[in-house]
Structure formats: structure tokens, C-alpha cells
Amino acid sequence: MVIDYFKKEKKPLKGLLAVEWVVMIYLVVTLAATLIWYDTMTNPHALISGRMEVLFTTLLLWGVYRMYPSKAMRFIRIGVQMALLSWWYPDTYELNRQLPNLDHIFAGWEQSVFGCQPALLFSQHITSPVFSELMDLGYASYYPLIAIVSLYYLFRRNNEFERCVFIIMASFFTYYVIFDLVPVVGPTFYYKAVGVEEIARGTFPALNDYFCYNQECLPSPGYADGLFYHLVETAKEAGERPTAAFPSSHVGVTTVLMWLAWHTKNHRLVYIMLPFFILMFFATVYIQAHYAIDAFAGLVSGTLFYFFYYYLSKYIEV
């Protein structure tokens, strides 16, 4: 019953939740990086003050929970941290642009592996509005899939809910650490900077600090009048930055979600999510957000993160 979520817990957790520890560790690590790069960053004050606000919010919610510990308050604490995921994302750009851009290396690897640039050719060879909308639907399903899995665990497997969100959040922040240290912007930014004609000729120049001062990207390919096309474009305009291409966290986190769905042994849930998972994989390349090797790296890393954090969750209080 709903009222049970508001009953006072007999054995409340004294410290932070596992999810909050994940956030605090990332906060401290990136705060240290901000202080190290302070003199070369454009607006380090915003990064520092933002982290202080997150710290204050986390401690405030912990304090409220300690005054009246309940399941409902635990869920609020978790929900706030999950809601901040999109807030953390643009910060990866502020941090990784302190390092030289690596897209010329990844585009070169792409050419060596596939003999072409799949992100350049995919949308050119399949121009159907229906197919385009399916790709954009797959890409736009990212956050809804996170919500579906999290809510399923909350209401159907409540005893594993905190483990579920710990695995999701730990995976997210591991990707953020990689993005902070591996500055790859992806085809939509790199192709725009170099020129599509040069890319098609197999020219992949090093751009070094170009993306420190330039954020222009190619328009998304496909059916420009489609509903899901506009959803993807709106999301890009709201928070996209030249960052976070390798590996694809969209594919990686969705892979984690598929493993979490599989763990429930609810085949209906798996079958509902599977088409969106497949669309997501191809959509990341189709809309030129990622190189194909980014998508495959997302599959591998997502699987590794799921099993590592699931194993780790057995030894920490979640």
C-alpha cells in the first residue's frame, strides 16, 4: 500500500545511499580536475558553484531523511540524483576540452575497420521518411527506457530497486569519467569542422583545440518534418555539446537496461524494450551522433559495467 512508503523505518540508513556516494565521488574527482585546470578554463566558477549546490542539496535531503526516515524519502533522494543526470552531461565538455581532440584518430580507425564512414553513408543510402522516423524514435526512447526499468523495479521488485538505480547511475558516471578524459566529439561535429567532402575523400586532420571555440554541428539527416526528428533536434539544441562520443553512452546505458530487464525474468518487459534497443544502436550512427565503433564499444562497455556493478552491489549497502 502507498501508506507503507511513508511509515517510519525501523532501521534507517545512517549514511549516504549508494547512489549518492557515486555522485559524491564523481563530484570530488571533477572538482579536483577543475581546480587543476582552473586557470585555463572558461568559467570554472560555474562548475565549482554547481557542485557546491549539488553537495548542499544531497546533504539537505539526507538531513530530512534522518529526521523522518521512510521509503518515500529514500525514493526522493534517489529521484533527485537521477534527475540531475542531464545537468552533469554538459560539464564533460568543459573538462575534456582541456585536452587535444582525438576525432582524427577515431575517424581513422573507423575507416580502417569498415573501409568507409558509416555515419556519413548510412543516412544517404536509406532516405525513407518511415525509416528516418524509426531511427529518431529509437534515439528519443533513451530516457523513457530508463524510466520504464526504474519504475518497474520500484513497483514490482522493490527489494532490488536501489540496486537497479545504483547500477544505472554508476554506469552513467563511469561514462562521464571516460568522456572527461577522452575528448571525442563524434561525426556531427567533426564532419562539420573538416567538411563532408574532405571526410568522403578520407581526410582526417587533427583539430587539436578547435572545439574549445567552435560548437557547430551538422543538421540531423532524415525526414525533417517528422515528429521524432523534431524531438531529437530539440534535445540537441537544449544540451548537445561537442563531447561524449566514445563510447556511446546511449548504447551503453541501454545495454545496461536490457540486462536489468533480463534479470527480472519478465520476458514481456524484455520483448517490449528490445525493438527500441535495436533502434537505439543503429540510430546513434544514423543521426551522426557517433561513429560505428562508438556504438559497438557501447555494447561491450555496457555489458561489462552491468556485471561489474551488479557484483559490486553485493558488497555494499544498497
Task: Give the pLDDT of residue 239.
Answer: 73
Secondary structure (H, E, C), 247-289? CCHHHHHHHHHHHHHHHCCCHHHHHHHHHHHHHHHHHHHHCCC
Q: What are phi and psi of 19, to 5 degrees?
A: -60, -40
Output the DSSP codes for 160-180. GHHHHHHHHHHHHHHHHHHHH
Task: Give the pLDDT of residue 46.
Answer: 95
Torsion of CA 14, 19, 22, 28, to 10 degrees: -60
CA distances, 39 to each of 36, 42, 204 (Å): 8, 8, 31
Per-residue buried b or exposed e for 151-167, using 16+ beta carbons within 10 Å of the residue's own CB: ebbbeebeebbbbbbbb
Helix extents (H) in the chain: 18-36, 44-67, 71-83, 85-88, 91-96, 103-114, 118-125, 129-140, 142-156, 161-181, 187-194, 196-200, 227-239, 249-263, 267-286, 292-313
Query: What is the grid cell recorded at 235?
Result: 534535445
Task: Give the pLDDT of residue 240.
Answer: 81
Task: Give the pLDDT of residue 1.
Answer: 60
Task: Give the pLDDT of residue 2.
Answer: 64
25 closest CA partner among 53, 46, 55, 62:
55
Task: Give the pLDDT of residue 88.
Answer: 95
Mean of all residue pLDDT scores within the chain: 94
State how far the Cα of 231 lies from the Cα of 102, in Å rounded to an integer: 29
Residue carrying C-alpha cell 501508506:
3
pLDDT in tens, 178-224: 999 999 999 999 999 999 999 999 999 999 999 999 999 998 899 99
pLDDT in tens, 74-96: 999 999 999 999 999 999 999 99
pLDDT 10s digit of each residue in the chain, 318 long?
667 677 888 888 899 999 999 999 999 999 999 999 999 998 899 999 999 999 999 999 999 999 999 999 999 999 999 999 999 999 999 999 999 999 999 999 999 999 999 999 998 899 899 999 999 999 999 999 999 999 999 999 999 999 999 999 999 999 999 999 999 999 999 999 999 999 999 999 999 999 999 999 998 899 999 999 999 988 887 778 899 999 999 999 999 999 999 999 999 999 999 999 999 999 999 999 999 999 999 999 999 999 999 999 988 876
Task: Give the pLDDT of residue 22.
Answer: 97
pLDDT in tens, 50-73: 999 999 999 999 999 999 999 999
State how far the Cα of 165 lies from the Cα of 15, in Å rounded to an integer: 17
